[in-house]
Amino acid sequence: MSDLLARHRAVIPNWVALYYNEPIEIVSGKGNRVVDASGKSYLDFFAGILTNMIGYDVPEVREAVERQLATGVVHTSTVYLLRGQIELAEKIARLSGIPDAKVFFTNSGTEANETALLLATYARKSDQVLAMRQSYHGRSFGAIGVTSNRAWKNNSYSPVNATFLHGADRHLPQFAGLSDADYIKVCVEDLRHVLATSVSNDVAALIAEPIQGVGGFTMAPDGLFAAYKEVLDEEGILFISDEVQTGWGRTGSAFFGIQNHGVTPDMMTFAKGLGNGFAVGGIVARGDLLDNLHAVGLATFGGNPISMAAANATLDYVLDHDLQANAQRTGTLIINGLREAAERLPIVTGVRGKGLMFAVELADGALAARFMEESKKAGLLAGKGGLHGNVIRMAPPLTLTMDEAAEGLGIIVNALETINDEAR
């Protein structure tokens, strides 16, 4: 493994981060578990950064891909009719709730967000975009422009003129002690003040994650985006919901994260879990917005037959097995257990989440790094994030069983107890 790590460092950029003091190579997977090159098994609570949404070696997905491979057609391009693409677009348009929706497929969430920004700025003839503090929308030029996390921004240059709003930062002293209703009121008044002071004439859109991924699963209280949208609608400002991490039932309480706010956005971007590991992203939006562009366009690999076979099979599996309800059941068990444990663990400064998207905030980044090592040793894979790198974020596959949820909870709590004892 040390040889493989040395080879990695020789040819891969040093800003491509690796987890753990001794990084692992995952060589196989089955169900909700993976095995590394040394033969050690792990319960996967990070799912390839929320991408292996229904676990590993799923027969329905594997067989759908194999059937497509057997045709000999891996790629044709969008200049020909693609049955799998049309079928998947029909399902997503129906599930979105967006009136007269159409769908455009890309390869990733970053590309999807770039498309959404293009659509909004073109429709509104404005480069001004509102986004949320602590947000992350991808690593490309435009996506970085609407990302509000210094650790993920390489420069200040941007094709958009972004202004960042409050809404997922209740931890700040000025908001301490506010109820949900009072916090929403303060944020809405701040939005009105921003529109009166920080922008010029038309604003293209607000882009927001219902739950911030890289931000450490911080989130606005339910109802905030509905209140925001009332203000946006007064000025015709479009609303883009970034569902790259929150889509397909992961929050348990809604199929798309924004539905927890009682809002139907103008556009939703998606990616990650839809392909269960195969590269797929896209945007579902009002048809008039997607039809509006005057130039010819395509995505060479977006909507290719292989990724569409995987995505159709994955989405069908999620719906047929009601994995949204499973996310609610298993997530409730874990989140309640974490909150109970947090009451006796001073190193834990917060527990938050919805469904199978939950996080433990620790007192500092060193504790989070220590947790990663301890949970790895115990056979559980987790993720790390937050504005200060002090948040453990976890999002197991939606197929997690109640027994696996209890097992994972036990590992997390035991690791936290070990670290808490060390910190005394």
Q: What's residue 382's pLDDT?
A: 98
d(CA 34, CA 32): 7
Mean pLDDT for 234-258 is: 98
In this prediction, what percent of the chain has a pLDDT beyond 70? 100
Residue at token pair 């609608």: 233
Strand 161-165's sheet: what is its strand order?
Answer: 101-106, 281-286, 267-270, 238-242, 205-208, 128-132, 161-165
pLDDT (tens digit per residue) in 117-142: 999 999 999 999 999 999 999 999 99
Pairing of strands 26-30, 33-36: antiparallel
DSSP β-bridge partners for residue 348: 362
CA-to-CA separations, 422 to 19, 351, 367, in angstroms, rounded: 22, 21, 10
d(CA 40, CA 380): 11
Residues 6 or more apart whose Cβ sits within 8 Å of residue 246: 209, 210, 211, 256, 257, 258, 357
Q: Residue 327 burial (CB < 10 Å; 0-12/13-18/19+)?
A: buried
pLDDT (tens digit per residue) in 144-161: 999 999 999 988 889 999
Q: What's residue 424's pLDDT?
A: 77
pLDDT (tens digit per residue) in 290-314: 999 999 999 999 999 999 999 999 9
Which of these ranges, 121-130, 296-305, 318-327, 361-370, has the smallest mean pLDDT?
A: 296-305
Q: What's residue 2's pLDDT?
A: 80
Q: Quick one: which of 378, 328, 379, 376 has its CA closest to 354?
A: 328
DSSP 3-state of 162: strand
pLDDT band at 1 (very low <50, low <70, confident <90, very high): low
Q: What's residue 84's pLDDT?
A: 98
Mean pLDDT for 374-402 is: 97
CA angle at residue 393 from 241 to 408, to 5 degrees? 125
- pTM of the entire structure? 0.97
pLDDT (tens digit per residue) in 171-195: 899 998 899 999 999 999 999 999 9
Tokens representing 91 are 């399902």
Q: What's residue 167's pLDDT?
A: 96
d(CA 252, CA 390): 25
Domains of the chain: 63-320 (3.40.640.10)
Q: What's residue 186's pLDDT?
A: 97
